[in-house]
Every structure is written in C-alpha cells, then in structure tokens.
C-alpha cells in the first residue's frame, strides 16, 4: 500500500486523525476498516504505521504502532523547469518526474509553447498538478512531495534562479556539453536547476537570456526526443550521476 501524506498537526498523543479527501479515499476507495493497518508520512520526513481504531463517514482515527524517521536527502535537490505540454502529456510528465525524485517542478511559458494557460487559471492548474504530484509521491513511497509552482514566464524563470548551484538548459540542437560529463554539485545544500523547452525548441533570445543568467547549454546526444522524453531522460541522467538511481 502507498504511503499517504498528512500534516504533522494531525498527529498527537500516539494517534492520528484523518479527515477530508484522504479519509474519503482510505474509507471509500481502499475500504480501510477498523483493525487494518496502513502507512502515513508528514512534512517532517517521518512515517507512521497506523492501526485504524475508528472509521466513520467523515473521520478516520488510528493508533500509531511504529514510527520511522528519515534524514535530509544526501544529494542536491533537482528543480525541473518544463515548457508546458499539451493535454495529458504534462500530467504524465509531472507524475513520472515525481517518481524519479525531483524536488520541485516549474511549468514555464515559452515563445514556442503551444499551451499558454490564462492567468486566471494559474491557481487552479497549479492545484491540479500538485495533486498529481501528491498521488505519485504516495505511490512511489517518497518521503516528501515535490512542489509544483504556478506557470511562469521563461524570462522571469531565468532571472529567478541565481541561487541554484548548477544551472542547465537542455538544447538538443546545439554543441553544448554532454549532460553525462558536465560538472554537478555533490552537497545536499547545493542544487541543480534544469530547463527543458517545448517541441518547437528555444528561440535565440531565450538561449541568450539563459546564458546571460548563468545557464549552461547541455545535450543528451544526437537523438531528437519529444519534450517529455527529453525531460525524463535528463532527470534520469542527473539522478544516476548523483547516486539516486543505480
């Protein structure tokens, strides 16, 4: 069974109280009954094995049988900035990037992007994508849920990343350095930020802006990949080099 996420405020005196959508899911979809056990986790990177004591329509109360703590991640976190993709391809990308362990994902609006969410829809879209990430993190038994940002203009994104230790931009049709050999940080207080463009690629102005903001062009080789494939391949290469994928 997946690890379900709650807020630590729901844990008190050896018990946990679950309400809302998660209660509905556990009771209705998974049919958790009194006496059954399941795992939950919170934002403090703690997990609990819980025995259901009370299951009602609006509340599930359980007894904590076991507690596990996890230290902070040993490797630099990865931020994936992805040009917004059409239809369910963006949903699929967020799901798979979550499974691969990205710490955060920023949907970006680029010149050649097909999808351009209306400003008034940004919050609703962000909440929908965050829910996809939550469900994927639970299924993958992660210790944390990646943060999905609101859609961001590409130029604003480039200017907002000076704190990233390693800033990369994937440019398949360039003579950029191979992602397999580019220098990566190694300490957990450092970070990696990688930007992946749309199917139509980056404009010259976007590439120039990226490099002016300290982004290094990198490539995955000679193969031309779909945007979502390129993003997941890039994250996989980085995670493998950081020791997160064996």
| Residue percentage of the chain with pLDDT more than 70 | 98
User: Does 105 lie in the same domain as 42?
Assistant: no
User: Does 55 lie in the same domain as 96?
Assistant: no
Contact 33, 18 (CB under 8 A): no
pLDDT of residue 165: 87
Structure confidence by residue, pLDDT tens digits, 22-64: 999 999 889 999 999 999 999 999 999 999 999 998 999 999 9
User: Does 131 lie in the same domain as 86?
Assistant: yes
CATH of the domain at 36: 2.40.240.20
User: Does 152 lie in the same domain as 37?
Assistant: no
Domain finish residue from 11, 39, 69: 69
CATH of the domain at 190: 3.40.1280.10
Q: Which residue has the tokens 């961001």?
A: 152
pLDDT beyond 80 at 105: yes
User: Does 108 lie in the same domain as 206?
Assistant: yes
User: What is the three-class DSSP state of 75?
Assistant: coil
Domain finish residue from 69, 86, 121: 69
pLDDT beyond 90 at 199: no
The band of 93, judged by pLDDT with boundaries at 50, 70 and 90, is very high
Of 200, 150, 135, 149, residue with least CA distance to 173? 200
User: Does 40 lie in the same domain as 90?
Assistant: no
User: Does 116 lie in the same domain as 56?
Assistant: no
Could you report how far apart the first and last alpha carbons of the chain are, in Å?
A: 24
User: Does 215 lie in the same domain as 101?
Assistant: yes
- Average pLDDT for residues 78-100, to the nearest whole number? 95
Between residues 112 and 179, which one has the greater pLDDT? 179
The band of 173, judged by pLDDT with boundaries at 50, 70 and 90, is low
pLDDT beyond 70 at 149: yes
User: Does 232 lie in the same domain as 186?
Assistant: yes
Structure confidence by residue, pLDDT tens digits, 200-245: 889 999 999 999 999 999 999 888 889 999 999 999 999 999 988 8
Tokens representing residue 148 in the block: 């999905």
pLDDT of residue 63: 96
User: Does 51 lie in the same domain as 147?
Assistant: no
User: Does 137 lie in the same domain as 191?
Assistant: yes
Q: Return the DSSP state at 6.
A: -
pLDDT of residue 118: 72
Give how many domains the chain has, as a whole number. 2
pLDDT of residue 197: 92
Strand pairing of 37-41 and 3-5? parallel
Residue range(s) defining the domain that contains residue 63: 3-69
pLDDT of residue 1: 67
User: Does 110 lie in the same domain as 50?
Assistant: no
pLDDT of residue 174: 67
pLDDT beyond 80 at 115: no
Tokens representing residue 125 in the block: 């879209």
Domain finish residue from 69, 92, 124: 69
φ and ψ at residue 169, rounded to 5 degrees: -130, 125
């Amino acid at each position: 069974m997946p690890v379900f996420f709650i807020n630590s405020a729901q844990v008190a005196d050896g018990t946990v109280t679950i309400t809302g959508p998660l209660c509905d899911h556990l009771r209705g979809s998974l049919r958790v009954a009194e006496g059954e056990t399941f795992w939950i986790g919170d934002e403090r990177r703690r997990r609990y094995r819980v025995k259901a004591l009370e299951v009602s329509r609006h509340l599930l109360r359980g007894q904590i049988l076991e507690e596990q703590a996890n230290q902070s991640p040993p490797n630099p976190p990865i931020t994936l900035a992805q040009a917004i993709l059409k239809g369910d391809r963006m949903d699929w990308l967020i799901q798979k990037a979550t499974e691969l362990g990205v710490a955060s994902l920023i949907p970006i609006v680029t010149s050649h992007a097909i999808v351009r969410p209306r400003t008034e829809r940004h919050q609703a879209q962000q909440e929908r994508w965050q829910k996809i990430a939550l469900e994927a993190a639970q299924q993958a038994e992660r210790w944390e849920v990646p943060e999905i940002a609101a859609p961001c203009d590409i130029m604003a994104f480039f200017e907002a990343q000076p704190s990233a230790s390693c800033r990369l931009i994937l440019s398949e049709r360039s003579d950029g350095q191979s992602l397999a050999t580019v220098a990566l940080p190694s300490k957990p207080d450092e970070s990696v930020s990688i930007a992946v463009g749309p199917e139509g690629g980056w404009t010259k102005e976007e590439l120039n802006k990226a490099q002016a903001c300290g982004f290094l062009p990198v490539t995955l080789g000679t193969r031309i990949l779909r945007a979502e494939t390129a993003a997941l391949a890039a994250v996989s290469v980085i995670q493998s080099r950081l020791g997160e994928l064996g």
